[in-house]
């Protein structure tokens, strides 16, 4: 019987069992091999997996009390995650151990490499502290370590460089190349994936249709060409660009976050940067909109009602009030409602406009506008003065 080297173990299966009578370790191991035989075919038979070293020596810990037995089964595995899960599930089909009725339930599957990584990180922190003088700030050392770890987290999604587990995020950031992914990971941004060329891969097109998508491109002509191609085949929600003449891969943390904060909704981008006859970009001058009297009266009534309360009110397309929340809870509530209108006892800022665009809001009413506001054509922004 082959023995699985400790260095090759990827996962450890932990299973709890209970038997209605007194059983011993050989009874448990015999039940595991005997009652799982043939369930997954000859290639995944436990005896064959153990013979070839892909399943290690099974350990059993037993406690017997009042004529019954219970305990823990430990199975080391060098299979991949899906195969390990199949083996674990097979163990739950065991109904008897020795002469006794029994139940087996998987307690957990532990990623051994994850535990090793935790040890490596903690040990690295200790070693770093010994390398620097006491005058060096611990926060600076920790940040250096974090950046090194983040930059090593680069993964792949259907052959494209990406942050880890890109499928698990509700929103993604599309960049041009692998070096851009590494730079964003270095600064803590993980929901990122690269195009790797001027031809847009199907994986990017599919992701853009299922997730809130921001494209973050270099500030050069190459970025312009890729953006044009993306807009023709993918579903883009926001556009962010590196400063003119700079590439995403060379941006500092401050420049990255500034560019992402200043991202522009797609509709606004198309409106504000239209080409003139000379091929130069010019700003789109937004005209002030008017609303019908009925809507205006309802907005004014609701606004007067919440004035002084520091609250926000949500209204649907039929002008029915959906609810009121404190302004500090406004963004969380916005994600959970299908509001057409937001009326708030506060100033209207660009952050609110962006969140409202993502959730399909068409009207925002507030006390005043704070800072520069950029909004798509379909949205109407009104202040207290406009309601008079």
Residue 157 lies in a domain: yes
26 and 90 in one domain? Answer: yes
Q: Can you give the CATH number for the domain in which 331 is found? A: 3.40.140.20
Considering the domain architecture, whether residues 160 and 251 belong to the same structural domain is answered as yes
CATH (domain of 96): 3.30.70
Helices of type H across the chain: 25-36, 46-51, 81-91, 112-131, 138-151, 178-186, 202-210, 221-233, 253-261, 266-272, 293-306, 330-336, 350-358
Residue 234 sits in the same domain as residue 165:
yes
253 and 300 share one domain: no
Domain end point (choices 78, 111, 144): 111
For 66: left if phi > 0, alpha if psi spans -120 to 50, otherwise beta; the answer is: left
Classified as helix, coil or strand, 348 is strand
* Cβ within 8 Å of residue 99, ≥6 positions away: 21
80 and 23 co-located in one domain: yes
Query: Which of 61, 78, 111 is the endpoint of a domain?
Result: 111
Residues 254 and 316 in one domain: no
Q: What is the pLDDT of residue 203?
A: 92
Q: What is the pLDDT of residue 132?
A: 61
Residues 69 and 23 in one domain: yes
Q: Are residues 75 and 164 in the same domain?
A: no
The list of the chain residues with pLDDT below 50 reads 1-5, 135, 274-285, 287-288
Kindly state whether residues 252 and 161 are assigned to the same domain. yes
Residue 139, both tokens: 């926060």
β-bridge pairing 155-157 and 192-194 = unpaired
Question: What's the order of all strands across the beta sheet hosting 363-366?
Answer: 321-326, 311-315, 341-344, 363-366, 380-383
User: Is residue 142 a part of any domain in this protein?
Assistant: no
What pLDDT score was predicted for residue 312?
A: 95
Of the residues 58, 91, 111, the one at which a domain ends: 111
Q: Kindly report, residue by residue over 193-209, the tens digit of the pLDDT.
A: 999 876 789 999 999 99
Write out the residue range of the structural domain in which residue 84 sits.
Answer: 6-111
Does residue 248 contact residue 202 with C-beta atoms inside 8 Å? Answer: no
- What number of CA atoms fall less than 13 Å from residue 199's CA on the CB side? 2
Within-domain flag for 143: no
CATH assignment of the domain containing 203: 3.40.1360.10
Q: Provide the pLDDT for residue 272.
A: 65
Q: Is residue 268 part of a domain?
A: no
What tens digit of pLDDT does each residue of 215-238 get? 999 988 788 888 888 888 889 999
User: Residue 58 falls within a domain, yes or no?
Assistant: yes
CB atoms within 10 A of CB 97: 26
Residues 167 and 81 in one domain: no
Same domain, 348 and 304: yes
Cα–Cα distance measured from residue 264 to residue 97, given in angstroms and rounded to the nearest whole number = 64
Inside any domain, residue 285: no
Please tell me the pTM assigned to this model: 0.38
Number of domains in the chain: 3
Q: Are residues 255 and 314 in the same domain?
A: no
pLDDT of residue 22: 93
């Amino acid at each position: 019987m082959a023995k699985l080297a400790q260095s090759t173990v990827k996962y450890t299966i932990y299973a709890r069992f209970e038997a209605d009578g007194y059983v011993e370790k050989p009874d448990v191991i015999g039940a595991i091999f005997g009652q799982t035989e043939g369930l997954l075919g000859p290639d995944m038979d436990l005896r064959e997996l153990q013979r070839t070293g892909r399943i290690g020596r099974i350990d059993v810990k037993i406690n017997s009390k009042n004529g019954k037995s219970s305990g823990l089964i430990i199975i080391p595995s060098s299979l991949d995650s899906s195969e390990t899960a199949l083996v674990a599930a097979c163990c739950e089909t065991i109904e008897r151990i020795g002469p006794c009725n029994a139940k087996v339930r998987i307690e957990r599957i532990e990623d051994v490499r994850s535990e090793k990584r935790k040890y490596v990180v903690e040990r690295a922190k200790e070693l770093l502290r010994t390398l620097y003088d006491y005058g060096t700030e611990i926060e600076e050392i920790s940040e250096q370590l974090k950046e090194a770890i983040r930059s090593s987290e680069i993964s792949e999604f259907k052959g494209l460089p990406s942050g880890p587990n890109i499928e698990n995020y509700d929103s993604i950031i599309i960049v041009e190349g692998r070096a851009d992914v590494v730079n964003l990971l270095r600064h803590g941004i993980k929901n990122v994936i690269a195009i790797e060329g001027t031809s847009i891969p199907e994986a990017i097109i599919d992701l853009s249709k299922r997730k809130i998508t921001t494209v973050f491109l270099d500030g050069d002509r190459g970025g312009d060409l890729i953006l044009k191609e993306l807009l023709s085949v993918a579903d883009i929600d926001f556009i962010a660009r590196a400063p003119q003449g700079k590439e995403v891969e060379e941006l500092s943390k401050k420049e990255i976050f500034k560019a992402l904060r200043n991202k522009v909704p797609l509709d606004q981008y198309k409106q504000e940067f239209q080409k003139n006859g000379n091929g130069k970009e010019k700003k789109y001058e937004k005209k002030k909109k008017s609303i019908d009297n009925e809507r205006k009266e309802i907005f004014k009534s609701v606004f007067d009602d919440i004035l002084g309360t520091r609250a926000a009110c949500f209204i649907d397309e039929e002008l029915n009030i959906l609810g009121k929340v404190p302004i500090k809870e406004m963004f969380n509530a916005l994600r959970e409602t299908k509001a057409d209108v937001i009326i708030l006892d506060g100033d209207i800022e660009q952050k609110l406009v962006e969140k409202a665009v993502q959730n399909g809001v068409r009207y925002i009413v507030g006390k005043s506008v704070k800072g520069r506001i950029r909004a798509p054509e379909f949205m109407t922004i009104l202040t207290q003065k406009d309601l008079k």
